[in-house]
Amino acid sequence: MTERAIEVSWLGRIGFDEALRLQEEIVAEGSAPDRLLLLEHDAVFTTGRGGDPGNRPEPTGPFGRVPVRRVGRGGEATYHGPGQLVGYALLDLRARGGDVHRLLRALEQGVIDLLRSRGIEGVRVPGRTGVWIGAGPNAAQPPRKIAAIGVGVRRGRSMHGFALNVSPDLDAFAAIVPCGIEGVVTTSIASEGLRPVPSVGEIARDAASTVPNAIEELLPVIGSTEEAR
C-alpha cells in the first residue's frame, strides 16, 4: 500500500472568502499532498450548491447583515463563526477509492472520537449527515446537532469538510433552517456542560490527530494517483 500522510495546518481565525481561495489554490495543484486545514471563521452563513433559498436568514432579522455564501458542497444552509472549529479536508480521492460517502463517514468518526476524548458521546443519526448528541431509543431529549459536515469534489479532490460547535453563538442557527432540517436543535461543547470550556485552538489540537486517523482507517490509500485513475 502506498503511504499518503495528511498534512495538518492550524490557520487560526480567517475570513471565509480567504479560506475558500486557499482551498481552490490547493486543489489547483494537481500534485499537492493531502491536507487538513483547521481554522475558525468570522461570522458567515453558507449554503450548498442546491440549497433552498428559504433556509437562509431573513434580511431584516438580527443576523440579516451576516454575509451568505453559496459554495460547491452538498447540503443546505449552515453557520460558521467565532467559537466553532472548521476543518477542510483536501484529499486526492482518486488515490483513496473515490468514495465520497466514506469520506463523510470518516469525518463523522473523527469528530465522534474527538468528542469522546473530552467525555462527550457523539453519535450518528441514520439518514442525517453530521454528529449528534442524545440520539437513540432511550434518549430523554430530542437529538441535538453538534457538528455539520458537507463536502464537494473538484478535479478528483475533496473540498470543505466539518464544522464543530465549541462555543459559538447558537442563536445564529435559529436564524436559518440548519442543514435543511426543520426543528433541529443545535448544541455545542460548551452547552453540553464541559467545564472549563476549551478554546477552539485546544479542540483543533485534538482534531489534528482524530480526524486524520479516521480518514486513514476508513479511506486508506489504495495506490498511487496514476494507479487510481
Q: Digits of tens for pLDDT over the chain (229 positions)?
A: 344 589 999 999 999 999 999 999 999 987 789 999 999 999 999 887 766 666 667 776 788 889 888 887 867 788 999 999 999 999 999 999 999 999 999 999 999 999 999 999 999 988 889 999 987 666 667 789 999 999 999 989 999 999 999 999 999 998 887 666 667 889 999 999 889 999 999 999 999 999 999 999 999 998 544 444 4
**Dist. CA 115–CA 15, nearest whole Å:** 26
Instruction: Report the C-alpha gap between 167 and 190 in whole angstroms.
Output: 5
- d(Cα 229, Cα 224) in Å, to the nearest integer? 9
pLDDT of residue 227: 41
Place of cell 461543547: 189
* Residue pointed to by grid coordinates 438580527: 62
Other C-beta atoms lying within 10 Å of the C-beta of residue 13: 12
Amino acid at 93: L
User: How far is 160 from 152, CA to CA, in rounded Å?
Assistant: 6
- Rounded to an integer, what distance in angstroms lies between the CA atom of residue 228 and that of residue 144? 39
Which of 85, 164, 179, 221 is an active site residue?
Answer: 179
Specify the pTM. 0.89
pLDDT at 138: 63
CA distance 80 to 72: 16
DSSP 33: P
Q: Look up residue 174 and give its DSSP letter.
A: H
Q: How many CB atoms lie within 10 A of CB 173?
A: 25
Whether 179 is catalytic: yes
Domains, the chain, in order of start with CATH, read 7-228 (3.30.930.10)
Q: Residue 59 has what pLDDT?
A: 73
Q: Say if strands 35-41 and 7-14 run parallel, antiparallel, or are unpaired.
A: parallel
